[in-house]
Amino acid sequence: MASGQAPTLAQPRQFKLDKESELRVEVGPDSPLRARLLSGTAELFGTELPPQNWLPIPPRSKIAIFTWHGATIELEGISEVEYVADETPMVSYVNVHAILDGRRARAKASQGSDLDTSQGPRVIVVGPTDSGKSTLCRMLLSWACKQSWKPTFVDLDIGQGSITLPGCIAATPVEMPIDAVEGIPLEMPLVYFFGHTTPSSHGELYKVLTKELAQTLERQFSGNAESRAAGMVINTMGWVEGLGYELLLHAIDTFKANVVLVLGQEKLCSVLKDVLKSKSNVDVVKLHKSGGVVLRNQKVRQKSRSCKIKEYFYGLANDLSPHSNIINFSDVAIYRIGGGPQAPRSALPIGADPVADPTRVVAVNINRDLLHQVLAVSYAKESDQIISSNVAGFIYVTDIDIQRKKITYLAPCAGELPSKLLIMGSLTWLES
């Protein structure tokens, strides 16, 4: 088959891969496709493929099955693109993993001494949109788990969300190689609801929540030597200029990152090296992005967000049954963070402009504007604890009955909400 040519029929076809090459496949929005390893060894984003087992590839997926020593792969179903590539950056990626592995071993060996030397690598992956950041994070995590480490994955990418819904920053320990289809297993993720898919007008709130997450992780690490030695892998947004760049520096500082991996942008790498040169313990490393990385336009990214929200309520394979519930307006209190009422000019120093407090918690009047909103259920007991509290989960508002003062909502499971304090952002979803 010619390179890059999509098959017209769904008949099985085999690809013989030489060592250090990969099969790249792009799946359409509605096409079922599956893959299996017939011979040799191969991995998908750092996780080994079991021999002879069919692996379902979800719609809209872009995958790369890589082999270190050679393999034969069989595909069945229809894809939009499939081709074998022998130029990949995988050797440089696995070299980074080997260095991180050595640092983890040294951190573990120095346990019982001071906290600095017993701290494993804190790796932050940065680069522009669609440079393969989340895929590299996934590989580094899976390879670490293969060596019996349990690193913590921190996701600061509010645009897409690898751990939970878009609009959140989150962290979770990863204890085993990440399942190629199911993604990251979630035992007890730590989730803070930012509420928007871009930080453009909420930069200060993003910084505050980033700091809350970092402080919580520091507390956990101080009491858990194993997690401390395993360290963190931190995924970031693709916005690397202006405010995006400012938030990137803030994240490097806040999480005390000591390895900065820059994907696919010479200029960003050079600027970061210059800015961070005063920090002797921070290594800035430039890595090539994979040729298999696919650029996504705004529409595709929006669709991806919508699928992520649907998956939260209905499961990856539409195999979950969310519950529809009705509550009274009086049963809940809904808040928005930021954009609170401005101080009147008379209360300000002469010449100062009124500015909305970016972290002010404001009560929201319940009305039809809440329809189709995704709301976070906060663990906070009082409204003044909302910013410093993580969230239990999410609900989706399907109806507002103003006359009867009732809210109908969808929740992933039955039963009462764990809290009556709900947070509203600008995250909406139209159930299709």
- Any idea what the CATH number is for the domain that residue 66 is in? 2.60.120.1030
CA proximity to 399, closest of 368, 365, 364? 368
For 231-282, write each residue's pLDDT tens digit.
999 999 989 999 999 999 999 999 999 999 999 889 999 999 999 988 878 9
Same domain? For 35 and 151 the reply is no
Same domain? For 200 and 225 the reply is yes
Is it the case that residue 382 has pLDDT exceeding 80? yes
Q: Show contacts of 369-372: CB within 8 Å, 24+ apart.
A: 370/334, 370/397, 370/400, 370/407, 370/424, 371/397, 371/398, 371/399, 371/400, 372/396, 372/397, 372/398, 372/428, 372/429, 372/430
Cα separation, 400 vs 402, whole angstroms: 6
What φ, ψ does residue 54 adopt, rounded to 5°? -70, 135
Q: Is residue 2, in this structure, part of any structural domain at all? A: no
Same domain? For 362 and 267 the reply is no
Q: Is residue 295, in this structure, part of any structural domain at all? A: no
Tally of domains within the chain? 3
Q: Is residue 292, in this structure, part of any structural domain at all? A: no
Cα angle 285, 155, 430 (rounded to 5 degrees) comes to 135
Q: For the CA atoms of 340, 190, 299, 324, what is the dihedral angle to 10 degrees?
A: -80
Same domain? For 177 and 42 the reply is no
Q: Is residue 432, in this structure, part of any structural domain at all? A: no
CB 222 within 8 A of CB 115: yes
Residue 52 region, left (φ>0) first, then alpha (ψ -120 to 50), else beta?
left
CB 335 within 8 A of CB 423: yes
User: What confidence score (pLDDT) does residue 393 get?
Assistant: 93
Cα separation, 344 vs 105, whole angstroms: 58
The β-bridge relationship of strands 43-44 and 62-67 is antiparallel
Same domain? For 125 and 240 the reply is yes
Residue where a domain stops, chosen among 259, 287, 315:
287
What pLDDT band is residue 38 in, cutting at 50, 70 and 90?
Answer: very high
Same domain? For 117 and 157 the reply is yes
Is it the case that residue 87 has pLDDT exceeding 80? yes
Same domain? For 199 and 340 the reply is no
Q: For the CA atoms of 370, 374, 375, 377, what is the dihedral angle to 10 degrees?
A: 150
Report the b/e string of 142-160 with b at 16+ CB within 10 A.
bbbbbeebbbbbbbbbbbb
Q: Is residue 137, in this structure, part of any structural domain at all? A: yes
Is it the case that residue 419 has pLDDT exceeding 60? yes
Q: Give the CATH number for residue 202.
A: 3.40.50.300
- What CA–CA distances, in Å, run from 150 to 103, 115, 153, 160, 224? 14, 18, 9, 24, 11
Same domain? For 80 and 95 the reply is no
Same domain? For 152 and 219 the reply is yes
Same domain? For 230 and 262 the reply is yes
Q: Give the CATH number for residue 361.
A: 2.40.30.330
The β-bridge relationship of strands 323-328 and 283-287 is unpaired
Q: Is residue 429, in this structure, part of any structural domain at all? A: no
CB 63 within 8 A of CB 57: yes
What would the two tokens of residue 270 be? 């050079």
pLDDT, average across residues 20-32? 88
Name which residue leads in pLDDT, 328 or 179: 328
pLDDT, average across residues 326-330? 95
User: What confidence score (pLDDT) does residue 345 get?
Assistant: 55
Same domain? For 115 and 77 the reply is no
How many other C-beta atoms lie within 10 A of the C-beta of residue 174? 24
Same domain? For 180 and 216 the reply is yes
Residue where a domain stops, chosen among 287, 319, 335:
287
Cα separation, 15 vs 408, whole angstroms: 51
What would the two tokens of residue 278 be? 């005063």
Give the SS3 label for residue 122. strand
Is it the case that residue 225 has pLDDT exceeding 50? yes
Is it the case that residue 120 has pLDDT exceeding 60? yes
Residue where a domain stops, chosen among 37, 70, 87:
87
User: What confidence score (pLDDT) does residue 356 get?
Assistant: 66
CB 44 within 8 A of CB 65: yes
Q: Is residue 70, in this structure, part of any structural domain at all? A: yes
CA Rg value for the chain? 23
DSSP β-bridge partners for residue 285:
261
Give the SS3 label for residue 125. strand
How much is the mean pLDDT over the chain? Answer: 89
Cα separation, 144 vs 356, whole angstroms: 44
The range of the structural domain enclosing residue 383 comes to: 300-424
Q: Is residue 431, in this structure, part of any structural domain at all? A: no
